[in-house]
Amino acid sequence: MGRQLSFSIFRYNPNIPGDAPRMQEYKLEEYEGMTLFVALNDIREKLDPTLMFDFVCRAAICGSCAMMINGRPGLACKTMTGTLPSRINLMPLPVFKLIGDLSVDTGTWFRNLQVRTESWIHTNKKFDPEALEVRMENKTAEAIYEPERCIECGCCVASCITANIRDDFLGATGINRVGRFLIDPRDERTDAEYFEVVGSEEGAFGCVGLMACDDNCPIELPLQQQLAFVRRKMAQAGLKLDLKGMKIS
């Protein structure tokens, strides 16, 4: 016999008139290798078919299933119930708009982030289908891949004190994303142009340094390093700008 697990799950569907936020209790018997993916589907299929949550890849690579698991943000799909006490408290991620129960709208938030930070390669070169690719050192490609690995789950945003109190903060994920383009030789933006994007308190200078983002990143991105890197670059860029944003050096 496995343990009896007691789940306490946040319930509220803003699309159902009269519905009110509450915690609901469910009990399941644990078995070997049980993850929160399995447990939540069991609850939906056997106990309560209205329960809303999001899973896609169930392999910890798509970032869909982040939630607050006993008070910490994490990916539900890779969380083994065996690593948790028998009372499991599940809440939706803060900061993001609630869709219902454990489901939040990370898609809209991240799309806005991409657009605000113009997270695409800026280049004046035209693609020439006849030409060979531009050469790059393999270690540069590997260095770009490191921050590119971000799965946009939102755990860093949910962990972040600044993101929790100001809507316009880019979060560690946004700063990491900008850092990815900063080191990409294909991107022709100048430091001054990057400064426009992240050289403010909504960007690299909004971070208050608690580093919960780094602690809670489920794919262990070096967010602390990325923040330091982008800040240093932006501080340097800032020193080269006068107050009107004109280049003086």
Partner 1 sequence: MSAKNAYICDVLVVGAGLAAERSAVEAAEAGLNVIILSLVPPRRSHSTAAQGGMQASLGNAALAKGDNPKIHFEDTVKGSDWGCDQEVAKMFCETVPIMIRQLDYWGVPWNRVTAGKKKLPSGIEVEDTKDKEGLITARDFGGVAKWRCCYTSDGTGHTVQFVVDTVVCKLGIPVHDRMEAIAIIHDGETCYGVVARCLRTGELNVYLAKSTVIATGGAGRIYAASTNAVINEGTGAAIALNTGLVPLGNMEAVQFHPTGMPPVFILMTEGARGDGGYLLDKNLHRFMPDYEPKKKELASRDVVSRRMIQHIRAGYGVQSKYAPQHLWLDIRHLGRQWVWTNLREIATIAGNFNGLDPAKDLVPVVPTQHYTMGGVRTNKWGYAYGLKGLFAIGEAACWDLHGFNRLGGNSLAETVTAGYIVGKQIVKYTLGATQDFNYKLVEDFVKQEEERIKNLISGKNGKEDVFEIRDAMQQTMMDHVHIFRTGPSLEQGVAKLQELYRRSLKIGLHSSGQGANPELAQALRMPGMLRTALCVAYGGLMRTESRGSHFREDYPKRDDANWLKRTLAYWKEGADLPTLDYEPVACPIMPPGDRGYGEATAGPKGK
Q: Which of 43, 144, 170, 207 binds partner 1 (CB under 8 A)?
A: 144
Distance (Å, rounded) from C-alpha 194 to C-alpha 154?
Answer: 23
Q: Of 244, 210, 242, 246, give the one whose Cα is nearest residue 227.
A: 210
Q: Is 80 helix (H, G, I), strand (E, B) or coil?
A: strand
Q: Of 137, 239, 242, give the one whose Cα is nearest residue 183.
A: 137
Residues 147-176 touching partner 1, rule: CB under 8 A, are: 148-149, 151-152
Q: Which of 11, 52, 70, 225 binds partner 1 (CB under 8 A)?
A: 52
Does position 115 interact with partner 1 (CB under 8 A)? The reply is yes
Largest CA distance in the chain: 72
Residues 68-97 touching partner 1, rule: CB under 8 A, are: 78
Does position 60 interact with partner 1 (CB under 8 A)? The reply is yes
CB of 204 to partner 1, least distance (A): 21
Kindly report the three-state secondary structure assignment for every residue of 198-243: HCCCCCCCCCCCCCHHHHHCCCCCCHHHHHHHHHHHHHHHHHCECC
Q: Taking the CA of residue 36 as centre, how many other CA atoms within 13 Å lie in the half-sphere pointing to its CB?
A: 30
Q: Which of 4, 23, 29, 56 binds partner 1 (CB under 8 A)?
A: 56
Does position 2 interact with partner 1 (CB under 8 A)? The reply is no
Distance (Å, rounded) from C-alpha 94 to C-alpha 157?
Answer: 8
Does position 216 interact with partner 1 (CB under 8 A)? The reply is no
Which residue has 């967010």 as its token pair?
A: 223
Does position 25 interact with partner 1 (CB under 8 A)? The reply is no
CB of 110 to partner 1, least distance (A): 7
Distance (Å, rounded) from C-alpha 107 to C-alpha 119?
Answer: 15
CB of 96 to partner 1, least distance (A): 12
Compare residues 147 and 162 and give the one whose CB is closer to partner 1.
147
Does position 111 interact with partner 1 (CB under 8 A)? The reply is yes
What residues make contact with partner 1 under the rule CB under 8 A?
A: 13, 15-16, 32-33, 35, 44-45, 48-52, 54-64, 78, 99-100, 105-108, 110-111, 114-115, 118-121, 123, 125, 127, 129, 131-138, 140-142, 144-145, 148-149, 151-152, 184, 186-187, 219
